[in-house]
Amino acid sequence: MTVVVGIPASGVGEPRSPIVGDVVKKLTALGAGVLIERGATDASFATPASLGDVAWADSTAEVVAGADVLWTINGLPADAEAQLRPGQVLMGLLQPYASAEHAQTLADAGVTAFAMELLPRISRAQSMDILSSQGAAAGYQCVLIAAARAPKFFPMLTYAAGTIRPSRVLVIGAGVAGLQAVATAKRLGAIVHGYDVRPETREQVESLGAKFVDTGVSAAGEGGYARELTDAERAQQASALAKAVAESDVVITTAAVPGRRAPLIVTRAMLDAMRPGSVVVDMAAETGGNVEGTVAGKDMRVGPARVVGPVNLPGRMPVHTSEMFARNLFNFTAPMIVDGALAIDWSDEVIAGTALTHRGRVVHDGVARALGLEPAPADPPRPAASAAEPQPAASATEPTEGDPR
């Protein structure tokens, strides 16, 4: 029986779609069918002609009814989830730590749900890493937002009456998004500094032509994550970081922790010490923000600084982010399609480690513990908690993306 991959509309305010023509060709080459809701790709500018040999549905309900595997950006609306049937496969960014009720609802429906946020951080999974691909777009966008709002040129400018000095940009967090922000700010000609509590990121920051802010504190932990700082270390870090913030014209923060509120890094006192007209872009605005005074979706005047809390940054460039998202999902799904039929290999650590629900249970140990749910029996094999479970984080890191790839 031919497996059908369904693409429902992503919903209001989400221009990305998890399918592009190139990926349709790859799916059909594996013997799979593709069913797309009409209009689902309009905002990402993928025309019906560019998508090729697909079937079309007139509603999300029709896609859910006709698909074996559902690809989504941020999950399904509640009314569509209610129509899911046992054995159906759902995959996308499902926010696994957000709600015990939601996780249990998927389990009770008998759905095999793969939350791509849980993808194990191993080399073989790099081509499937949605957080990294979308994070790169977010870091790029943060710099463009800052440059558009800054009252200064980013690059050095020579004109008839003299020379204008370049802007100083500080990027806090040196994961995928942070490094992309560093690289983009350098391309625009700014003087760039980067900071992360993980000392191993120094080389990565410096390889992009930026200077590393050394606070004298190392929070290197296990698995590419940061450990919890002591009170003394935290005070030392804050003092050194406050100086770097005060000297900057632009600050971009990129720290987030899966399933938790984003750590507060830039305080009101730090903002008050900045120069008038300074710009701060908080990439973590949607999860509480790294900056005191951040409001998601708003530009706020906080002391002398303008604090910007952008939302859905990858959605600002849906052509490329849809392409990246679709390729990530294809690379994850392809091993499950054998001769056109669905065949999930639960001995594969990538597949098992990304599973949220299966056979009526929440099967990811880390999620089950974090949400206070009963641990599932070891069938299918469950991932180790360290694969994607939130780790204790110090006050300035980017553990959602871990080591740069």
Determine which one of 44, 88, 97, 121 is catalytic. 121
What distance in Å separates the CA atoms of residue 176 and residue 170, rounded to the nearest whole number? 15
Determine which one of 95, 104, 126, 218 is catalytic. 126
Query: Which residue's entry shows tokens 């701060």?
Result: 280
Determine which one of 129, 196, 249, 365 is catalytic. 129
Is position 180 annotated as part of the catalytic site?
no
Residue 216: Cβ within 10 Å count: 9
Q: Which residues of 319-345 are buried (b: 16+ CB within 10 A; e: fewer)?
A: ebbbbbbbbbbbbbbbebbeeeebebe
Is position 187 annotated as part of the catalytic site?
no
Is position 121 annotated as part of the catalytic site?
yes
First to last CA, the chain: 37
Is position 44 annotated as part of the catalytic site?
no
Beta strands in 200-354 (DSSP E): 211-212, 250-253, 279-282, 299-302, 305-308, 337-338, 341-342
| CB 70 within 8 Å of CB 10 | no
Determine which one of 132, 133, 180, 278 is catalytic. 132
Determine which one of 97, 140, 195, 225 is catalytic. 225
For 252-297, give the DSSP string. Answer: EE----TTSPPPP-B-HHHHHTSPTT-EEEETTGGGT-SBTT--TT
Sort strands 162-164 and 250-253 into parallel, antiparallel or unpaired: unpaired
Which tokens is 62 given? 């029709």
Query: Which residue's entry shows tokens 């790169």?
Result: 136
Is position 140 annotated as part of the catalytic site?
no
Q: Known catalytic residues?
A: 121, 126, 129, 132, 225
